[in-house]
Chain A
Amino acid sequence: MDDTTKLKLKLALGLAGAGTLLLALLAVLQDFPEPRLWALFAAALVFFEWNSVEVNDRLLVSPSVMVTLTAAVVFGPGSATLGVAAMAALGLLTPADLRGRRWFQPLANFGQFVITATVSVFVLELFLPTEVTIDNLWQVALGTAVAASIHSLVQFTIVSWVVHAVYQRREVRPWTQMGSNHASYLAMGFLGGLLGATYLLVGAVTLPLIFTAYFVGHLAFAAYGELREAQEATLRGFVKALEAKDLYTRGHTERVAHFAELIGEQLRYNPAQLQRLRWAALIHDVGKLAVPRELIRKKARLTDEEYAQMQRHVHVVEDILAEVEFLHPMVHIASGHHAHFDGSGYAGGTHSRGDAPTQEMSVLSVADAFDAMTSTRSYRVALSQEYAFTELRRHAGSQFDPRAVEALIAALERTGERYGSTELASEAEARRIAETMEGYRIYG
Chain B
Amino acid sequence: MAEQPLRRVSLLVVAGLGATGAALSTHVMEQWWVLVLLTAAMAAGHLLRVPAPNGEDLYFGVAVAASVPLLVGDVFAVGVVYAFGTLASWLVLDLRGVSRRQLRVFLLADSAALGAYALVFFTTDWAFRYGDVTGQWTELTSVAAGALAWFLVGAVLHALVSYEERRQGLRYMWLLAIADWPVVLSLFATGALFAFAWPVIRWWAFPVALMPYGFSHVAFVRSAGTRVTYGQTIRALARIPEVAGLAPTGHSSRTAELAVAVGQDLGLSPSEVVELEYAALMHDIGRITLNEPAILKAGYTDEDIARWGSQIVAEAPYLSRVADHVRTQHRPYRHPGEETDHELALAAKIIKVASAYDQAVAEAGLAPLEALETLHRGAAYDFDPRVVRSLRRVTTPRVPAAG
Given the complex, which residues of A lie within 8 Å of B182, measured CB to CB? 216, 219-220
Please give me the residue from chain A that is nearest to B139 by CB atom. A205
Of A208, A228, A293, which one neighbours B140 at CB under 8 angstroms?
Answer: A208
- B236 close to A324 (CB less than 8 A): yes
Given the complex, which residues of A lie within 8 Å of B211, measured CB to CB? 187, 190-191, 194
Please give me the residue from chain B that is nearest to A294 by CB atom. B293
**Interface hit among A23-31, A284-292, A367-375, A431-439:** A284-292
A206 within 8 A of B: yes
- A231 close to B229 (CB less than 8 A): yes
Q: How long is the Cα–Cα vector from A228 to B202 in the complex, in angstroms?
A: 39
Instruction: Give the Cβ gap from A408 to chain B, nearest Cβ, in Å.
Output: 27
- B236 close to A194 (CB less than 8 A): no
Given the complex, which residues of A lie within 8 Å of B315, measured CB to CB? 236-238, 240-241
A221 within 8 A of B: yes
- B229 close to A324 (CB less than 8 A): yes
- B317 close to A237 (CB less than 8 A): yes
Q: How long is the Cα–Cα vector from A210 to B192 in the complex, in angstroms?
A: 10
Q: How long is the Cα–Cα vector from A213 to B63 in the complex, in angstroms?
A: 13
Given the complex, which residues of B lie within 8 Å of A202, measured CB to CB? 196-197, 200-201
Given the complex, which residues of A lie within 8 Å of B340, measured CB to CB? none
Given the complex, which residues of A lie within 8 Å of B225, measured CB to CB? 326
Residues from 226 to 263 in B contacting A, C-beta threshold 8 Å: 226-227, 229-230, 232-237, 239-240, 243-244
Instruction: Give the Cβ gap from A56 to chain B, nearest Cβ, in Å.
Output: 10
Given the complex, which residues of B lie within 8 Å of A224, measured CB to CB? 219, 222-223, 226
- A213 close to B190 (CB less than 8 A): yes
Instruction: Give the Cβ gap from B147 to chain A, nearest Cβ, in Å.
Output: 11
Given the complex, which residues of A lie within 8 Å of B162, measured CB to CB? none
Q: How long is the Cα–Cα vector from A9 to B364 in the complex, in angstroms?
A: 73
- B229 close to A205 (CB less than 8 A): no
Of B204, B243, B312, which one neighbours A241 at CB under 8 angstroms?
Answer: B312
Given the complex, which residues of B lie within 8 Å of A216, measured CB to CB? 182, 185-186, 189, 216
Given the complex, which residues of A lie within 8 Å of B234, measured CB to CB? 234
Please give me the residue from chain A that is nearest to B213 by CB atom. A213
Of A206, A210, A320, which one neighbours B243 at CB under 8 angstroms?
Answer: A320
B208 within 8 A of A: yes
Instruction: Give the Cβ gap from A388 to chain B, nearest Cβ, in Å.
Output: 29
- B208 close to A217 (CB less than 8 A): no
- B212 close to A134 (CB less than 8 A): no
- B223 close to A220 (CB less than 8 A): yes
Please give me the residue from chain B that is nearest to A224 by CB atom. B223
Instruction: Give the Cβ gap from A276 to chain B, nearest Cβ, in Å.
Output: 13
- A317 close to B226 (CB less than 8 A): no
Instruction: Give the Cβ gap from A282 to chain B, nearest Cβ, in Å.
Output: 11
**Interface hit among B32-40, B114-122, B284-292:** B284-292
Given the complex, which residues of A lie within 8 Å of B235, measured CB to CB? 324
B311 within 8 A of A: yes
Given the complex, which residues of B lie within 8 Å of A233, measured CB to CB? 316-318
Given the complex, which residues of B lie within 8 Å of A320, measured CB to CB? 236, 239-240, 243
- A326 close to B229 (CB less than 8 A): yes
Residues from 298 to 338 in B contacting A, C-beta threshold 8 Å: 311-319
- A242 close to B288 (CB less than 8 A): yes
A144 within 8 A of B: no
Residues from 206 to 256 in A contacting B, C-beta threshold 8 Å: 206, 208-210, 212-214, 216-217, 219-221, 223-224, 227-231, 233-238, 240-242, 245
- A206 close to B193 (CB less than 8 A): yes
A267 within 8 A of B: no
Instruction: Give the Cβ gap from B208 to chain A, nearest Cβ, in Å.
Output: 5
B163 within 8 A of A: no
Given the complex, which residues of A lie within 8 Å of B219, measured CB to CB? 217, 220-221, 223-224
Given the complex, which residues of B lie within 8 Å of A245, measured CB to CB? 288-289, 291-292
Of A194, A213, A316, which one neighbours B207 at CB under 8 angstroms?
Answer: A194
B130 within 8 A of A: no
Q: How long is the Cα–Cα vector from A229 to B201 in the complex, in angstroms?
A: 41
Given the complex, which residues of A lie within 8 Å of B196, measured CB to CB? 202-203, 205-206, 209
A137 within 8 A of B: yes
- B230 close to A327 (CB less than 8 A): no
- B197 close to A191 (CB less than 8 A): no
In the complex where A198-B208, A234-B234 touch, is A217 in contact with B200 (Cβ < 8 A)? no
- B237 close to A238 (CB less than 8 A): yes
Given the complex, which residues of B lie within 8 Å of A220, measured CB to CB? 182, 186, 216, 219-220, 223
A313 within 8 A of B: yes
Please give me the residue from chain B that is nearest to A188 by CB atom. B215
- B319 close to A234 (CB less than 8 A): yes
Of B201, B289, B291, which one neighbours A201 at CB under 8 angstroms?
Answer: B201
Please give me the residue from chain A that is nearest to B310 by CB atom. A241
Interface string of A297-335 (1 = CB under 8 A from B): 000000000000000010011001101111100000000
Task: List the 9 closest A-B pairs by CB distance, nearest first.
Answer: A237-B315, A220-B219, A237-B316, A290-B244, A213-B212, A205-B136, A326-B229, A230-B318, A241-B315
Give 7 A-B pairs besides A190-B211, A191-B211, A205-B137 with Cβ atoms closer than 8 angstroms.
Answer: A202-B196, A202-B201, A212-B186, A223-B223, A234-B316, A323-B236, A324-B233
27 CB contacts below 8 A, A to B, read A134-B201, A202-B201, A203-B136, A212-B185, A213-B213, A217-B186, A217-B215, A220-B186, A224-B219, A230-B316, A230-B318, A231-B230, A231-B233, A234-B318, A234-B319, A238-B312, A245-B292, A289-B291, A290-B240, A290-B288, A291-B244, A292-B293, A293-B292, A294-B293, A313-B244, A324-B233, A327-B233
